[in-house]
Amino acid sequence: MLVMTLSASAQVAAPIEVVNSAIAAMNDLGRQVVLGKLKTSLDRMYPQWKDRLSRRMGGDAALEKQFDDALAEMMKQGTSMVSFKSYGFPRVYEVFPGKKVEVVDGKEVETLINTKWMLLIPTEVRYRVMQKQEIIIIESKGFQVAIADKDKLHWTFIDGAGLTVQDLRSLFISLPKDMELPQIQRRTVPKEELLQK
C-alpha cells in the first residue's frame, strides 16, 4: 500500500510502512523523554543538526550541559512532561539528492534520486506545571522532523520548536520553495476537559 501526500512542489508517495515506522520511532522517543530520559532526544537527533547545534553552543559538552540545565530548571519549577504523542498524519518529503546507477538496454545509466525520507510528524506534548500551589496542564502542539535513509529506516529527529523553513532548507536543498511548517500552539488545558477523560 502507498500513502500519497502532496508537497508544495510535487506529489510524493510513501509506503505506509515508512510512515508507520517513523511514527513508531517518534512515539518511542516520546516515551523515553516522558520517563525523564531527555538525553535520548540528543542521542536520536539528526547528526548534521546536532553538529550544527554543538558548534553554536561551543562543543558537545556545552550542548549536553544545556540539556542538563533545562532538565534541572524544569524540576526546580515543578514542571514535568506527562505525555508525548503523535496525532494526525505527517507531511512526507523525499530529500537529500543522490545518484543511482541502473542498466538500461545493456548500458549503465545514472539517475538522480532522493536518498532520504523526511516526515513532519504532528505532536502533542503535555506538561504538568505547579503554579501558585495549583497544578495545571499545559498542552503544546508542535512537530518532530523524522529523517531516515530510504534503505535503512533508522530514524533520527529534529524538534520543530524554534525551527524555520530556512533551517531545514540549509540541510535539505531540494525542499519546495513555498514549503510551510506546521503551526506550534500552546494552551492551558481546562480542568473540565481533564475531568472528562
Residue for grid cell 538522480: 112
Decide if pLDDT at 3 tops 60.
no
Name the band, by pLDDT with cuts 50, 70 and 90, for residue 197: low
Name the band, by pLDDT with cuts 50, 70 and 90, for residue 1: very low
Decide if pLDDT at 71 tops 90.
no
> What are 102's strand-pairing partners?
109
Q: Which residue has the higher pLDDT, 108 or 6?
A: 108
Task: Give the E-state strand segments of 132-177 in sequence order.
Answer: 134-149, 156-159
Q: Which pTM value belongs to this model?
A: 0.87
Q: List own/partner pairs for 31-37 with CB under 8 A and 24 or more apart.
A: 31/84, 33/81, 33/84, 34/81, 34/82, 34/83, 34/84, 36/71
Give the pLDDT mean for 25-39. Answer: 93
CB count in 10 Å sphere of residue 51: 13
Name the band, by pLDDT with cuts 50, 70 and 90, for residue 51: very high
Decide if pLDDT at 12 tops 80.
no
60 to 22, 54, 64, 86: CA distances (angstroms): 26, 5, 6, 29
Q: What is the predicted pLDDT for the residue at 2?
A: 43
Decide if pLDDT at 5 tops 70.
no
Q: What is the predicted pLDDT for the residue at 10?
A: 44
- Do the Cβ atoms of 5 and 179 come closer than 8 Å? no
Cα distance from N-terminal residue to C-terminal residue, the chain: 34
CA angle 52-58-59, nearest 5°? Answer: 70
Cα–Cα distance, 90 to 109 (Å, whole number): 34
Give the pLDDT mean for 128-148. Answer: 94
Give the pLDDT mean for 112-141. Answer: 93
What DSSP line would sit under 50-114, residue for residue?
Answer: HHHHHHHHTSHHHHHHHHHHHHHHHHHTT-EEEEEEE-S--EEEEEEEEEEEEEETTEEEEEEEE
Decide if pLDDT at 61 tops 90.
yes
